[in-house]
A and B are shown apart, each in its own frame.
Chain A
Amino acid sequence: MNIPYETRRRSLFSCLYSLRESLPGLLAMFFIALFSNNLAGNPNPLTLENLFRWLDAVIGPINHQPLFQILNSNFVWNPFLMGLVIGNVFGVPDCWKRGLSFIHILMPLGIIMLAPHFMFSHAEKAGLPLILAAFAVMLFTASLTMLLGRLLRMDDRHYATIAGALSTGDPHVVAILMPMLKSKGGQVINALGCVLLFGLVTSFLLPLLGHALNMDDKAFAVLSVFGVGNTGQTFNAAFGYSYEAGHWAHYVEPVRHALMPAGFLFVFFVMFIRARRYPHAENVMATKAHKTLPLFIVAFIVAWIAVQFHIVKEPAHLAIFELVKWDFSLAAAALGLSLPLREIAQWGLRGVVLAFASGLARLAVLVGCLLAAAHFRFPII
């Protein structure tokens, strides 16, 4: 019989369990990470990352981008995929489960250590009009997605996760939002798939629209970054339009990236306030389990503000980001192991409908604004 945690608790560190209990699960995560990503200090050349790079070299670039970048392969995606395959083919031994529970320590740890990655000064050179436009697009997309999600009668954890990923333009925000919103693993991966699919389709089709409207290279670069998001897919769209647009997309991209925390924090606080206002509503699930504002979110916000004063300089920032890669690789392995495929499928196709409806509305508004800016000769960049 499982002994309740409170009974076996001796100190704060009781959540680490004994080494004998946690070692098998920790080793499982460790070896999945080791064979997934080229992590700092990992001498193993037989990684999934290298396999994808080799396949990219065989296939050749598409619009100057490696295919697996367009498909969003990265340090979260790779170990998650490997964990998912292992979990679904071989199952998960019971002796791994205490160690795999470290995912709940790794998540807040990774989120806080991401703070130095989001430097506002990286966006400064693009100028205030573009920063304000990016901020407005982000809040508009997040609000619209949450509204449409409610209209589609979706689970609020699911639509809020999609809102966060779509508005920030980074599908991996689903992993950041998981402990914040208390989303289910299946919802998180379903949301990731929905946002990735939207980005994939639009990144190939958007250049056709741009050419039909005879858009300026700079305007199309802005449209790609704010309308498609997700670095690899943004560049696929922009370079698919013209080399100049791709070049300008590299210039605009840091703006979206620097503002990302504002996007996922906005979604979190909207859902958090909603859960406090309607504590007894049956359809309010997101953040409901948080009795108070989680401390790791406070710690992230404090760290995020502090790093804006250039406390963490290069190469310390790079060293911390290598630790983040290790952290999320381990956590993604545990998440992948936890999910039978049916749990991802059970959340259905409403997420796809939501991502496309909201994403296309964002593109329509952006196209209108960019054409108006061109008409009135307003300098975007």
Chain B
Amino acid sequence: MRHSHTTDEEGFNYMDNSGQEERDRDMVGIFAAVALMLLTVIVQRAGWL
């Protein structure tokens, strides 16, 4: 059944998260988290924060 809050007319459900799409989202999230934490730590250690 189409979920009006989450599913668009084309059938894309934004709360659905599985398969290759989930793995890609996880990886992008991990990269972003590690990059942001590293950047903050480096900026602090360099005395820019």
Contacts of B43 in A (CB 8 A): 316
Contacts of B29 in A (CB 8 A): 104-109, 112, 296
Contacts of B30 in A (CB 8 A): 108-109, 112, 295-296, 299
Q: Count chain A residues whose beta carbon lies closer than 8 angstroms to a beta carbon of B.
A: 53
* Chain A, Cβ-Cβ closest to B43: A316
User: Are A299 and B49 in contact, CB atoms less than 8 angstroms apart?
Assistant: no
- Does A43 reach chain B (CB closer than 8 Å)? no
- Main SS of the interface on chain A? helix
Indicate whether A5 sits within 8 Å of B21 (C-beta atoms), given known contacts A100-B14, A113-B33: yes
Indicate whether A320 sits within 8 Å of B14 (C-beta atoms), given known contacts A6-B19, A15-B24: no
Contact-residue size bin, chain B (C-beta under 8 Å from the other chain) = 35 or more
- A156: shortest Cβ distance to chain B, in Å? 18
* Chain B, Cβ-Cβ closest to A297: B26
* Chain B, Cβ-Cβ closest to A115: B37
- A231: shortest Cβ distance to chain B, in Å? 24
Contacts of A32 in B (CB 8 A): none
- Does A340 reach chain B (CB closer than 8 Å)? yes
Indicate whether A185 sits within 8 Å of B33 (C-beta atoms), given known contacts A295-B26, A319-B49: no
Q: CB-CB contacts of A8-24 with B at 8 A, as 1s and 0s? A: 01001111100000000
User: Are B6 and A92 in contact, CB atoms less than 8 angstroms apart?
Assistant: yes
A: which residues have CB within 8 A of B? 1-2, 5-6, 9, 12-16, 25, 87, 91-92, 94-95, 97-98, 100-101, 103-110, 112-113, 115-116, 179, 185, 289, 294-296, 299, 303, 311-313, 315-316, 319-320, 323, 334, 337-340
Task: Enumerate 13 A-B pairs (CB-CB under 8 Å) in ascending A order.
Answer: A12-B24, A15-B24, A25-B14, A104-B17, A105-B28, A106-B29, A108-B30, A112-B30, A112-B37, A185-B15, A295-B26, A316-B43, A323-B40
Starting from the known contacts A315-B44, A319-B44, 18 additional A-B residue pairs (CB-CB under 8 Å) come to A2-B10, A2-B11, A5-B20, A9-B21, A94-B9, A97-B12, A98-B12, A100-B14, A101-B17, A104-B17, A105-B29, A106-B29, A112-B30, A289-B18, A295-B27, A337-B5, A338-B6, A338-B14
